[in-house]
Amino acid sequence: FPQLHAAAAGLPLGRSAVLPGVLLRRDFAAYCPGGAGPLAVLVVRCLRPALAAPGTEYEVLSERRHRAALRWCAGTAEAAIERLRSGGVGLLLSSVKQHEEVIYYAKLHGVSVVECLSSEEVALISEITGLSPYDPAADDGTQGEIAEAVAVTFCRPLLLGSQRYVHVNFSTAGSFQPHCLVLCAPVESLNEQRAAALHGAFTMLLQLFRALDH
């Protein structure tokens, strides 16, 4: 329930609504409406390789080799974004912060980026879509399609009060279509009361349906 509702204080009660899709409590790191394609992928690591593994030191043997290593890192990041674009991916969902070069190439090639997703948001996306994290290193690029991709019907920014969200709707298989609840109220305490009451009601209904199934 916490990942399927959002609360905005300072707005009239009448602004409350049920919206299709999910709300991610993030802003776009790169927003490219009408960009590369209608697909989304989920990644759990930076698409630009680091010069050294975490906890290790990077030894600079010469300025020339250092510049060559930086060019290789940048080229790897660009190749990863180009692969996404060629596979029809227009939305990159990331659990980690992406390097500025990844964001640069994403904007250049029309790929929107949402980064620093929480573990709860990643789990929700995976549960709704069945997505597994995409690993560019395991993608040989010989096929046009990217297996670890899901279609999205829309992805756009949403402002609720002072909080920015990413509103995305996944095209899921079957009849299940996720929706999210937006609660608006003049003060935060009223939103908290309404959220607690609704959560309790949904929990009771879930227990009732489980009992009927048995």
| CA atoms 205, 207, 213, 214: torsion sign | negative
Band of the pLDDT at 31, cuts 50, 70, 90? Answer: very high
Which strands form 5-9's sheet, in the order they lie side by side?
5-9, 179-185, 17-20
At 173 the pLDDT is 57
What are the strands, taking DSSP E only, across the chain? Answer: 5-9, 17-20, 22-24, 39-43, 89-94, 112-114, 150-160, 163-170, 179-185
Give me the pLDDT at residue 116, please: 95
Examine the pLDDT at 193 and tell me if it is beyond 80: no
* pLDDT tens, residue by residue, 41-85: 999 999 998 765 555 555 556 777 778 888 888 999 999 999 999
Task: Considering only residues 189 and 50, tell me which one the structure prediction assigns the higher pLDDT.
Answer: 50
Can you list the domains of the chain with their CATH numbers?
A: 1-19+179-214 (no CATH), 22-177 (3.50.7.10)
Sign of CA dihedral 35, 39, 44, 46: negative
209 pLDDT above the threshold of 90: no
Q: How far apart are CA 183 and CA 11, in angstroms?
A: 9
Residue 166 has pLDDT above 60, yes or no: yes
- pLDDT for res 46: 92
Average pLDDT over the chain reads 82
Q: How confident is the model at residue 169 (pLDDT cuts 50, 70, 90)?
A: very high
| pLDDT the model gives residue 56 | 55
Interval 99-142: pLDDT, tens: 999 999 999 999 999 999 999 999 989 988 888 899 887 776 65
Least confident window among 24-38, 169-183, 197-211: 197-211
pLDDT (0 to 100) of residue 147: 84
Read off the pLDDT band of 97 (50, 70, 90): very high
Q: Residue 13: its pLDDT value, please? A: 77
Distance CA 214, CA 212 (A): 5
